[in-house]
Amino acid sequence: MGVPGRTPPSLLRNFSIIAHIDHGKSTLADRMLGLTGAVDERTMRDQYLDRMDIERERGITIKSQAVRLSWACQGTTYTLNLIDTPGHVDFTYEVSRSLAACEGAVLLVDAAQGIEAQTLANLYLAVQNDLVIVPVLNKIDLPAAQPERYAAELAHIIGCDAEEVLRVSAKTGAGVGDLLNAVVARVPPPAGDPDAPTRAMIFDSVYDTYRGVVTYVRVVDGRLAARDRIRMMSTGAQHELLDIGVIAPEPTSCSALGVGEVGYLMTGVKDVRQSRVGDTVTIAGQPAQVSLAGFQDPKPMVFAGLYPMDGSDYPLLREALDRLQLNDAALVYEPETSAALGFGFRCGFLGLLHLEIVQERLEREFGLTLISTAPNVVYRVVMLDGTEVVVTNPSEFPVGKYTTVSEPAVRVTVLAPSEYIGAVMELCQARRGSLLGMDYLSAERVEMRYRLPLAEIVYDFFDALKSRTRGYASLDYEFDGVIEADLVKVDILLNGEPVDAFSAIVHRDRAYGYGVDMTSRLRTLIPRQQFEVPIQAAIGSRVIARETIRAMRKDVLAKCYGGDITRKRKLLERQREGKRRMKMVGRVEVPQEAFVAALGGGEEVVARRS
Amino acid sequence: MAPPDPWLDLTAAAWGEIPGRPLRFYLHVPYCTHRCDYCDFTTYTPDDPRGRGQAQWLPGVRTELALAARVLPAALAGPVHSIFIGGGTPTLLAPETLGVAIADIADRWGLMADCEITVEANPETITPSLAAGLLAAGVTRVSVGMQSAVPAVLGALGRRHRPSTMVTAIECLRRAGLQRLSVDLIYGADGESLAQWQVSVQAALDLGVGHISAYGLIVEPGTALAARVARGVTRPPDDEDLAIKYELADAAFEAAGLRWYEIANWARPGEQCAHNSGYWRADTWWGVGPGAHSHLGGVRWWNRTNPHAWQVGLADVRGDRREARWPVAGWELLSAEQRALEQAMCTVRLRRPWPVLGNGRLRAALVAEGLVVPVGVHHASLTRRGRLLADHVVHRTLDAAGECWMTPASAS
Ligand SMILES: Nc1nc2c(ncn2[C@@H]2O[C@H](COP(=O)(O)OP(=O)(O)O)[C@@H](O)[C@H]2O)c(=O)[nH]1
Ligand SMILES: C[S@@+](CC[C@H](N)C(=O)[O-])C[C@H]1O[C@@H](n2cnc3c(N)ncnc32)[C@H](O)[C@@H]1O
Ligand code: SF4
Ligand SMILES: [Mg+2]
């Protein structure tokens, strides 16, 4: 393998693999690691590059990784940098930064599935970054594979010949060597000025408990050497380089990284926000004047309140969020109190998957049990006096006195067999979508593009889409500005007291539906009290839906003989234990399970106590 | 393994408080000719081998009484305040058999002059000779399982007697000279209308007895009733219906001069059941027989339910205490919190005013909510509405007392 810092760009190839989820990206990366000898058979394990447990279990790649491989082709040894990208739209910005570190992309498509929405979304990103696309069909070992058909589809989309589409099986390894040869032949070597002031782009940054922040960079111009004093161009912050190296695929220190090379930096900094994806690294002594394109602060798009089930875990939750943030520049949070749920945090996420992953990591890595409020998007409210209020929590939505409300929008791409066009259109229209365009990818498959409010896809859009298309549709989206809408806040009142955790901002046409759904759900979830409890949904002071939990009439009429005393005492003890876990809303005792079930889609059926 | 020996666990303090308390005996007769659909008491029918050892009952009881005599401290020498012979169906045994057991207790501890001796009786077992036998055995009070006066409801409960049997039974008992009589009623069976319940309530009053117990039907796990409810062929009792029926019965009983003295018990003055009242005051009692429960100074224990296992355990008692296999299946030593919870749970159910602990605000709140009537400066007693929500009142009083209850790990 070429020595880092002394490998001529002509012998370097930087590429990534882009694919729809489950099309085999991680498996293909494993084969490449094996074939190039980067990992021997003994140490090989599935999804070698997916380091977090949660990635392995869910089979998704959250944080990008870069690995340096050595590949001999026609007598010459090349150095290949395989840059793994997160596949999900929540991390689009990170995907595009990873792609910006490459000259080529392997576009991997499952030969039994064909092109899916994320294939396209990633392909567009790659094309926007001027990458050379190497089209590949994977899983040709499967009996259900239709390589002819999908090679034609792929060729049609990227505008090449079907013969140029390679065929591999990441499972058996068939065709993977030819694929690496094609990468060498088709992907151009990096171009850059070795004598210009150093500019390196940060495309990933992870916090490691032992080593602090590890920053992944691609050197564009100049070079980075051990013990250089570096400077982050967005903030001007300077750091000593404690270590510099490459991932091969274990971290290996080196003396320098030259033009086109990919490697890691360590400065001992503890917080990934000091070293953010997209930023440009330069040398403090001889700084570059212009930073590389594209530094963006990740913007949280979806918000939810996270509360510990056990109120005494609040300090632990704070500590856990602090720790996660070291590794996740996109996670934002601030303390919040809910009358119903107690002390917690309002957290901002890139999207729904991000929310789910953060919640799962908090629960798994820190042993917390959490209640999450229903996720909502950010609203911008323009008040009568012209001031703008940013609302991240429905309970802060101003009452009256505003002129407009706007909410984030997304451009959604749906790919589906053409027989489902009607079903998809119906769904998107019901979700306040407007059709932007439609294209046939082949006679049987169509791509539909819609603009929708983000809020409409935040809950169950994907599930609804899957069920209407028998699972055949795939979906991708990107953020697309904001739209004005006729939005109202619906409050849910228990015995006249608003329950902040249940307030929601919904389109006026949907307010009634939300109110009816929530009140009837709560009626079955909240046990009877000693008094009648009205459950109301209201917009301001106008009640739009109402249910009543009848008063409990009796809790005791049993005989109480000598033998019943122990039994009855144990029952009361269990009840007291249960009461300790109740949350009080005014005088109403609400079991935590009711919050979980009412807020979380409600798979959990909470038995009604009679 | 050490034998289950609740008495070794008694602390000196617990022993110390026992002498002030009345001593009572409960004798359990675990036999019935037929099992009613709702019943989960320890009882066996003749089709079960365990139901065929009736001849062994008396010897077992006498052995257990001997054991009690050895275990009970000298300070509890008697005399005995009450005996209750329950079941099962005690009247399946000859009254003479019960008489021997009663005499054995009398010989060992002596009986108070006004000692209450109750026997539970199923109406269909009551004949003039049985009644005479009971009286001769020393029985002073009979509690009859009436349950309902409506054939359809008796059928729904799985009972086998006819309403008229009840009238005859009470007549028999009276003629024999047994004056202290009580009947048990159950309300809330599937299909029981308010009118039908009204009929049962009136029929019970028409019997002219001085004591009535009325219980809301409970679907006990493991019963035939529970199985039918699970299969969806029988509807479980409905809270609203039970509450209305309670109110109806309470109004009728009170109007007839039977006053409530415990949530489910009504009596003319002087007719209250002394024995059951002892349970609610945490008196000392020894429960003799399979499945019987006992209480002694904060220790509760319960016997093996299988009559054979109980017999085998008793046979060992003659040996060294530490070596023996006891008739006892499990026991628990109550913590101070548990005793406080039991006390609250039992005393709140009684008409006799109980002190509202904590602060004056609680009593005022309970009064304002219509749950209690204030008595004196610190005491209160449940209203009719409060009786329906007694558990709630118990929780409120414990909350106010600032107690924090954890699930106890009780030995068994
Ligand atoms: N039969 C077959 N299965 C494959 C092949 N490549 C990947 N898979 C399977 O497809 C699933 C998804 O693969 P993975 O590499 O995790 O996909 P990723 O989500 O794109 O990273 C896994 O169950 C793999 O074992 C292949 O070439 N043939
Ligand atoms: C020990 S039992 C049996 C007495 C006697 N063998 C009889 O059935 O008449 C005493 C009383 O408890 C009541 N009881 C038993 N099981 C019950 C249940 N599941 N629900 C309500 N009351 C019940 C009945 O009223 C019964 O008369
Ligand atoms: S007769 Fe009494 S003890 Fe026997 S099964 Fe029926 S209710 Fe239970
Ligand atoms: Mg993967």
Contacts with B390 from chain A: Cβ below 8 Å: 555-556
Domain end among B236, B254, B280: B280
A312 touches chain B (CB under 8 A): no
Give CA–CA dist A550/A546, Å, rounded: 13
Give CA–CA dist A238/A182, Å, rounded: 41
Does residue B51 form part of some domain? yes
Q: Which of B16, B105, B45, B67 is nearest to B298 (CA)?
A: B16
- Domain shared by B78 and B223, yes or no: yes
A417-443: average pLDDT: 93
In chain B, which residue's Cα lies nearest the Cα of A576?
A: B405
* B-proximal residues of A, 499-528, CB under 8 Å: 528
Does residue B287 form part of some domain? no
Report how far ligand 4's centroid is from the alpha carbon of A247 (Å): 18
Give CA–CA dist B232/A305, Å, rounded: 41
Ligand 1 atom closest to residue A168's alpha carbon, by position in its atom list: 27
> A504 or A471, which is more confident?
A504
Comparing A162-166, A324-328, A600-604, the range with the smallest average pLDDT is A600-604
Ramachandran bin of B110, using left for φ above 0, alpha for ψ from -120 to 50, beta for the remaining angles:
left
Give CA–CA dist A289/A435, Å, rounded: 44
Ramachandran bin of A124, using left for φ above 0, alpha for ψ from -120 to 50, beta for the remaining angles:
alpha
Q: From the DSSP assignment, how many helices (H) and strands (E) are in chain A? A: 14, 34
Interface test with A, best of B27, B345, B369 (most A CBs within 10 A): B345
- Domain shared by B192 and B105, yes or no: yes
What is the number of residues in chain A?
610
Ligand 3 atom closest to residue B145's alpha carbon, by position in its atom list: 2
The pLDDT assigned to A461 comes to: 84
Torsion of CA A305, A307, A309, A315, to 10 degrees: 170
Give CA–CA dist A563/A601, Å, rounded: 43
Buried residues in A508-532 as b, exposed as e (16+ CB within 10 A): eebbeebbeebbebbbbbbbbbbee
Give CA–CA dist B121/B145, Å, rounded: 6
In chain B, which residue's Cα lies nearest the Cα of A528?
A: B239
* A582-585 and A588-591 beta bridge pairing: antiparallel
Q: What residues contact residue A161 under an 8 Å CB cut-off, 6+ apart?
A: A155
Ligand 2 atom closest to residue B88's alpha carbon, by position in its atom list: 6
Mutate which of B35, B41, B141 to test ligand 2's pocket (most atoms within 8 Å of Cβ)? B41
Cross-chain residue pair B264–A561, CB shorter than 8 Å:
no
Give CA–CA dist B141/B122, Å, rounded: 14
Ligand 2 atom closest to residue B43's alpha carbon, by position in its atom list: 6
User: Quick one: CA dihedral B345, B350, B355, B360, positive or negative?
Assistant: positive
Contacts with B295 from chain A: Cβ below 8 Å: 562, 565
Q: How confident is the model at residue A604 (pLDDT cuts 50, 70, 90)?
A: very low
Ligand 2 atom closest to residue B144's alpha carbon, by position in its atom list: 9
- Helical H segments across A367-420, by residue range: none
In chain B, which residue's Cα lies nearest the Cα of A573?
A: B407
Domain count, chain B: 2
Percent of chain A with pLDDT over 70: 94
Cross-chain residue pair A553–B213, CB shorter than 8 Å:
no
A–B interface: beta-carbon pairs under 8 A: 107
- Domain shared by B36 and B162, yes or no: yes
Interface test with A, best of B43, B392, B410, B412 (most A CBs within 10 A): B392
Report how far ligand 3's centroid is from the alpha carbon of B49 (Å): 18
- Domain shared by B15 and B98, yes or no: yes
Does residue B373 form part of some domain? yes
Give CA–CA dist A104/A184, Å, rounded: 10
Domain end among B234, B249, B280: B280
CB burial class (10 A; 0-12, 13-18, 19+) of residue A501?
A: buried
- Domain shared by B75 and B190, yes or no: yes
The pLDDT assigned to A610 comes to: 24
A553 touches chain B (CB under 8 A): yes
pLDDT in tens, A190-215: 999 999 999 999 988 877 777 788 88
Comparing A230-234, A436-440, A560-564, the range with the smallest average pLDDT is A560-564
Report how far ligand 2's centroid is from the alpha carbon of B185 (Å): 8
Cross-chain residue pair B392–A573, CB shorter than 8 Å:
no
> What's B24's domain CATH number?
3.20.20.70
- Three-state SS for A140? coil
Ramachandran bin of A368, using left for φ above 0, alpha for ψ from -120 to 50, beta for the remaining angles:
beta
Check whether A546 has a pLDDT greater than 70.
yes
Cross-chain residue pair A560–B264, CB shorter than 8 Å:
yes
Does residue B285 form part of some domain? no
- Domain shared by B212 and B88, yes or no: yes
Check whether A486 has a pLDDT greater than 70.
yes
A301-315: average pLDDT: 90
> B188 or A269, which is more confident?
B188
A139 lines ligand 1 (CB under 6 A): yes
Residue A439 in tokens: 């294209």
- Domain shared by B141 and B69, yes or no: yes
CA distance A520 to chain B (A): 21
- Domain shared by B262 and B356, yes or no: no
In chain B, which residue's Cα lies nearest the Cα of A609?
A: B239
- Domain shared by B241 and B350, yes or no: no
Interface test with A, best of B83, B244, B293 (most A CBs within 10 A): B293
B144 lines ligand 3 (CB under 6 A): no
Assess contact for A491 and A498: CB atoms under 8 A. Answer: yes
> What's B349's domain CATH number?
1.10.10
Backbone torsions φ then ψ of A497, nearest 5 degrees: -100, 125
**Looking at the CA of B216, which ligand is closest?**
2
Give CA–CA dist A30/A25, Å, rounded: 9
Residue A272 in tokens: 């990934």
Indicate the residue type of A184: V
B87 lines ligand 3 (CB under 6 A): yes
DSSP per residue over B186-250, as a string?
EE--TT--HHHHHHHHHHHHHTT-SEEEEEE----TTSHHHHHHHHTSSPPP-HHHHHHHHHHHH
A400-411: average pLDDT: 88
A19 lines ligand 1 (CB under 6 A): yes
A577 touches chain B (CB under 8 A): yes
CA distance B394 to chain A (A): 9
User: Quick one: CA dihedral B139, B145, B151, B155, positive or negative?
Assistant: negative
- Domain shared by B260 and B381, yes or no: no
Backbone torsions φ then ψ of B48, nearest 5 degrees: -110, 130
Backbone torsions φ then ψ of B136, nearest 5 degrees: -65, -30
Backbone torsions φ then ψ of A132, nearest 5 degrees: -80, 130
- Nearest Cβ partner for B215 among A559, A562, A568: A559
Percent of chain A with pLDDT over 90: 48
What is the enclosing helix (H) or strand (E) of A156?
A: helix A147-158
Report how far ligand 4's centroid is from the alpha carbon of A501 (Å): 35
A562 touches chain B (CB under 8 A): yes
> A356 or A286, which is more confident?
A286
Check whether A60 has a pLDDT greater than 80.
no
Angle at A204 between CA A200 and CA A206, to 5 degrees: 125
Does residue B411 form part of some domain? no
- Nearest Cβ partner for B407 among A561, A563, A573: A573
Which residue do the tokens 């002030």 mark? B20
The pLDDT assigned to B83 comes to: 98
The pLDDT assigned to A443 comes to: 83
Report which protein residue has its CA nearest ligand 1's atom 19: A22
Report how far ligand 4's centroid is from the alpha carbon of A89 (Å): 14
- Domain shared by B249 and B110, yes or no: yes
Comparing A57-66, A162-171, A368-377, B342-351, the range with the smallest average pLDDT is A57-66
Does residue B307 form part of some domain? no
The pLDDT assigned to B118 comes to: 98
> What pLDDT tens digit does each residue of chain B (412 aa) get?
344 466 665 554 555 566 677 899 999 999 999 999 999 999 999 999 898 889 999 999 999 999 888 888 766 777 999 999 999 999 999 999 999 999 999 999 999 999 999 999 999 999 999 999 999 999 999 999 999 999 999 999 999 899 999 999 999 999 999 999 999 999 999 999 999 999 999 999 999 999 999 999 999 999 999 999 999 999 999 999 999 999 999 999 999 999 999 999 999 999 999 999 999 988 889 999 999 999 988 889 999 999 999 998 887 665 555 545 578 888 888 888 898 899 999 999 999 999 887 667 899 999 999 999 999 888 999 999 999 999 999 998 888 876 433 333 332 3
- Number of other CB atoms surrounding residue B335 within 10 Å: 15
- Domain shared by B254 and B348, yes or no: no
A561 touches chain B (CB under 8 A): yes
Q: What letter would DSSP give residue A209?
A: T
Ligand 1 atom closest to residue A21's alpha carbon, by position in its atom list: 19
The residues pairing with A383 across neighbouring beta strands, listed in sequence order, are A402
Angle at A574 between CA A608 and CA B18, to 5 degrees: 145
Does residue B407 form part of some domain? no
Report which protein residue has its CA nearest ligand 2's atom 14: B39
A63-69: average pLDDT: 76
Cis, peptide link before residue A249, omega less than 30° from 0: yes
Residue A250 in tokens: 């274990």
What is the enclosing helix (H) or strand (E) of B35?
A: none
Domain end among B250, B280, B310: B280
Q: Which domain holds residue B51?
A: 6-280
Does residue B105 form part of some domain? yes
CA A69 vs CA A9, A77, A82, A104, A261: distances in Å: 15, 10, 7, 15, 12
Q: How confident is the model at residue A597 (pLDDT cuts 50, 70, 90)?
A: confident
Report which protein residue has its CA nearest ligand 1's atom 26: A139
CA A273 vs CA A191, A246, A256, A277: distances in Å: 29, 22, 24, 9
Residue A498 in tokens: 């608003």
